[in-house]
């Protein structure tokens, strides 16, 4: 088995530890303390072997966490019966937003799903409404994985991919979006974070520069595109972006590309099938 990139391990844990720092909403049946319980003992070890400074991630999570929380609350209020969390990591939304009649599906790599299942078992929390599904977006078909997990493609679904696409190869992102739209009933929504570079730069150059400059060639980041490329990808794969002219974003990091300081943004894109 190939070892996971340790930076991906760290970033996954930083996301969950960081979100646990915020006051966030929950449903009446939900468990607002589940997030902290789920991340017990996680340290987000950095490449130097030290626990990562979670504080650095809080500015990124401050707009991101409420954006995705609100989408779940809106879906529940609208009667959407299924929430699929793609690359869920240690996300606690299935517990925080537990609601009768709503089934949550948390998809991630096998080791993470196994560890999450173990943590949920230790917590002794009610998970009757939650299906954990192990998969690899590079090799597995998301529609088949969902069907096996009990997802009903004929009923509306909120699909979430928070801080996932960046870590997948562009071809895998395209396949994922296409397979999802092909199995998304009317009334379904897809919300993702998309890493965006300025329009006049070449995406391959941006990704390879980020990899070299920031990670010495061993980085876990693979998909960064212009906003127009993201919008075109959504259209090509059967998704219609809500408010394409309205940009909702947070600045992610700056890197010098082709001798030019370049801001990479995380944009929040929401689309309907
Ligand atoms: C940065 S974490 C974000 C986790 C979660 N969405 C959050 O916001 O806390 C990215 C997640 O995507 C998952 N992931 C990355 N590549 C994957 C792949 N090829 N197949 C399945 N999951 C993957 C990772 O295991 C990780 O949990």
Distances (CA, A) of 28 to 72, 100, 127: 14, 10, 16
Distance 219 CA to ligand 1 centre (A): 15
Sequence ranges of the domains in the chain: 6-272
pLDDT score at 119: 98
Tokens of 79: 């009667």
What are the pocket residues of ligand 1 if the criterion is a CB atom closer than 6 Å to any ligand atom?
11-12, 15-16, 87-89, 91, 108-109, 112, 135-138, 162-164, 167-168
Q: What is the pLDDT of residues 131-154, one digit of tens each?
A: 999 999 999 999 999 999 999 999
Distance 40 CA to ligand 1 centre (A): 19
**In the structure, what pLDDT confidence band is assigned to residue 19 with cuts at 50, 70 and 90?**
very high
> Relative to the CA of 91, which ligand 1 atom is closest?
9
Distance 120 CA to ligand 1 centre (A): 18
Q: What is the pLDDT of residues 46-102, one digit of tens each?
A: 988 999 989 889 999 999 999 999 999 999 999 999 999 999 999 999 999 999 999
Ligand 1, residues 12, 69, 105, 190: which to mutate, most atoms within 8 A of Cβ? 12
Per the CB < 8 A criterion, the answer to whether 156 and 82 are in contact is yes
Mean pLDDT of the chain: 96
**In the structure, what pLDDT confidence band is assigned to residue 37 with cuts at 50, 70 and 90?**
very high
Residue nearest (by alpha carbon) to ligand 1 atom 24 = 87
Give the mean model confidence (pLDDT) for residues 232-258: 95
Give the mean model confidence (pLDDT) for residues 6-13: 96
Fold of 6-272: Rossmann fold (3.40.50)
pLDDT score at 1: 57
Per the CB < 8 A criterion, the answer to whether 98 and 129 are in contact is yes
pLDDT score at 67: 98
**In the structure, what pLDDT confidence band is assigned to residue 36 with cuts at 50, 70 and 90?**
very high
Distance 260 CA to ligand 1 centre (A): 30
CB atoms within 10 A of CB 59: 13
Q: What is the pLDDT of residues 160-192, one digit of tens each?
A: 999 999 999 999 999 999 999 999 999 999 999
């Amino acid at each position: 088995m190939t070892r996971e990139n340790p930076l991906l391990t760290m970033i996954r844990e930083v996301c969950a530890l960081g979100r646990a720092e915020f006051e966030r909403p929950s449903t009446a049946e939900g468990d607002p303390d589940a997030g902290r319980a789920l991340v017990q003992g996680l340290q987000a070890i950095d490449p130097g072997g030290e626990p990562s400074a979670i504080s650095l991630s809080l500015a990124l999570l401050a707009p991101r966490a409420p954006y995705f929380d609100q989408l779940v609350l809106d879906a529940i209020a609208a009667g959407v019966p299924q929430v699929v969390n793609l690359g869920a990591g240690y996300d606690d939304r299935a517990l925080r937003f537990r609601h009768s009649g709503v089934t949550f599906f948390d998809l991630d790599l096998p080791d993470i799903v196994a560890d999450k299942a173990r943590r949920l078992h230790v917590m002794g929390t009610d998970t009757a409404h939650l299906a954990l599904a192990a998969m690899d977006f590079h090799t597995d078909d998301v529609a088949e994985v969902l069907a096996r997990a009990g997802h009903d493609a004929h009923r509306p679904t909120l699909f979430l991919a928070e801080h996932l696409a960046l870590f997948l190869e562009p071809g895998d992102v395209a396949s994922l979006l296409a397979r999802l739209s092909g199995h998304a009933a009317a009334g379904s929504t897809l919300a993702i974070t998309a890493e965006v570079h300025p329009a006049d730069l070449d995406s391959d150059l941006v990704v390879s520069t980020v990899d070299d400059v920031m990670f010495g060639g061993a980085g876990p980041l693979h998909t960064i595109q212009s906003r127009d490329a993201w919008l075109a990808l959504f259209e090509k794969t059967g998704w219609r972006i809500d408010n394409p002219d309205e940009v909702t974003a947070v600045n992610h990091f700056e890197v010098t590309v082709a001798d030019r300081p370049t801001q990479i943004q995380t944009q929040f894109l929401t689309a309907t099938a």
